[in-house]
Amino acid sequence: MNRRVRKAVLPVAGLGTRVLPGAKTTPKNMLNVFDRPILSYVIEEGRAAGIEHFVFIVGRGQGAIEDYFDAAPEIENALEAKGKADILAEVRRDLPKPGQMSFVRQMAPLGLGHAVWCARDIIGDEPFAVMLPDMLMAAEPAALAQAVSAHDQVGGNIIVVEPAPEGEAHKYGIVDLESQTGRLNRMRGMVEKPAPGTEPSNLFISGRYVLQPEIFPLLEKQGKGAGGEIQLTDAMAELMKVQPFHALEYEGVTYDCGDKIGLLRANVAFALRHPSLGADARAAISGLL
Ligand code: UTP
């Protein structure tokens, strides 16, 4: 029986350069996608996968994230007094129970690997998820739930992947598979931004992982890699020498909210599918074309 995945690490301490100036005073992952911050969707996805504790790796000036996941008595009391029960429910839906979230300062954005390493003491000795919150994944079951099911099935480490757009594989971290049958395949390796024409597959690493705690000592001694940053990919490549990794091609659609056009796509897509405002959104968007 594989150990249950109960905790997720959400690294949010990056500078969000590609969505400046929007991310200058609002943390990137607090930017809105239609009517909610990006993080609201990601937490919902994590809960659907059975995550009980979320560990945020934050940087300076990101206090808005903690405040968002805390009670807001002034707003809540005002809504209650006015009888606005539906808005109140919306405001409260993302709230954790006390003790279900931790916030760790990364202190300097030294890279994704370093960010994950900052969670080591809170994760302890159990398998855990990593969710890159700027990747919004619309999926049923939720993308992370698909990864957790794969972990229940084969154990070890799971990396969620998806096909790169035609001719764009060289822009991503690409997985190398032992063989490809179905959606869950044992990995042989991975390469960060392979030279065009040398990609071992067209499947890129898209932002959800289940990792074993043995990654932490490897991250601890991991030097700087591509871009002068401490890369999670490098430590995973080390761990792969001693533990199995599987790539899971998940079923769903990814929106990369880390750049302006991706964020726009997410806004349009989530507006269109909104249960009560979708039809009005469609009319408003069509009117612009
Ligand atoms: P990205 O490179 O996509 O995010 O890192 P970024 O650095 O914010 O974006 P740009 O390139 O400047 O526009 C993937 C995730 O890892 C986090 C980011 O916040 C993002 O959610 N991250 C990255 C950290 O938490 N710490 C780091 O040192 C680097």
Q: Is the CB of 14 under 6 A from ligand 1?
A: yes
- Expressed in angstroms and rounded, the spacing between residue 282 Cα and the centre of ligand 1 is 32
User: Of 64, 57, 65, nearest to 109 (Cα)?
Assistant: 57
Q: Is the CB of 116 under 6 A from ligand 1?
A: no
Q: Is the CB of 115 under 6 A from ligand 1?
A: yes
Per residue of the chain (289 residues), what is the pLDDT tens digit?
689 999 999 999 999 999 999 999 999 999 999 999 999 999 999 999 999 999 999 999 999 999 999 999 999 999 999 999 999 999 999 999 999 999 999 999 999 999 999 999 999 999 999 999 999 999 999 999 999 999 999 999 999 999 998 888 888 899 999 999 999 999 999 988 889 989 999 999 999 999 999 999 999 998 888 788 888 999 999 999 999 999 999 999 999 999 999 999 999 999 999 999 999 999 999 999 8
- Expressed in angstroms and rounded, the spacing between residue 202 Cα and the centre of ligand 1 is 23
Contact 268, 288 (CB under 8 A): no
Q: Is the CB of 15 under 6 A from ligand 1?
A: yes
User: Of 28, 204, 233, nearest to 133 (Cα)?
Assistant: 28
User: Of 233, 42, 212, 250, nearest to 128 (Cα)?
Assistant: 212
Burial of 140-177, coded b for 16+ CB within 10 Å and e otherwise, reads eebbbbbbbebbeebbbbbbbbbebeeeebeebbbbeb
Residue with tokens 């809170």, as numbered in its chain:
122
Return d(Cα 204, Cα 201) in angstroms, integer. 8
Return d(Cα 25, Cα 228) in angstroms, integer. 25
Report the nearest-CA residue for atom 22 of ligand 1: 14
Describe the chain by its helix, strand, coil percentages, rounded to 5.
35, 25, 40
User: HEC profile for 225-242?
Assistant: CHHHCCCHHHHHHHHCCC
Q: Is the CB of 59 under 6 A from ligand 1?
A: no
- Expressed in angstroms and rounded, the spacing between residue 85 Cα and the centre of ligand 1 is 37
Q: Is the CB of 23 under 6 A from ligand 1?
A: no
Strands (E), the chain: 7-11, 32-33, 36-37, 53-58, 101-105, 128-131, 135-138, 157-163, 173-177, 184-192, 203-211, 245-249, 253-256
Contact 57, 9 (CB under 8 A): yes
Q: Which of 18, 112, 234, 256 to mutate for ligand 1's pocket (most ligand atoms within 8 Å of CB)?
A: 112
Domain 7-286, classified CATH 3.30.70.1380, yes or no: no
Residue 115 token pair: 């960010």
- Expressed in angstroms and rounded, the spacing between residue 235 Cα and the centre of ligand 1 is 17
Q: Is the CB of 259 under 6 A from ligand 1?
A: no
Q: Of ligand 1's atoms, which has the minimum distance to the CA of residue 13?
A: 25
What residues are paired with 174 via a beta bridge? 191, 204
Q: DSSP assignment, residue 133?
A: T
pTM: 0.95
Burial of 91-120, coded b for 16+ CB within 10 Å and e otherwise, reads eeebbeeeeebbbbebeebbbbbbbbbbbb
Instruction: Say what the pLDDT of residue 225 is.
Output: 84
Q: Of ligand 1's atoms, which has the minimum distance to the CA of residue 58?
A: 25
Contact 134, 42 (CB under 8 A): no
Domain map (residue ranges) of the chain? 7-286
Return d(Cα 160, Cα 271) in angstroms, integer. 26
Q: Of ligand 1's atoms, which has the minimum distance to the CA of residue 18?
A: 13
Q: Is the CB of 173 under 6 A from ligand 1?
A: no
CA 249 and chain centroid, separation: 16
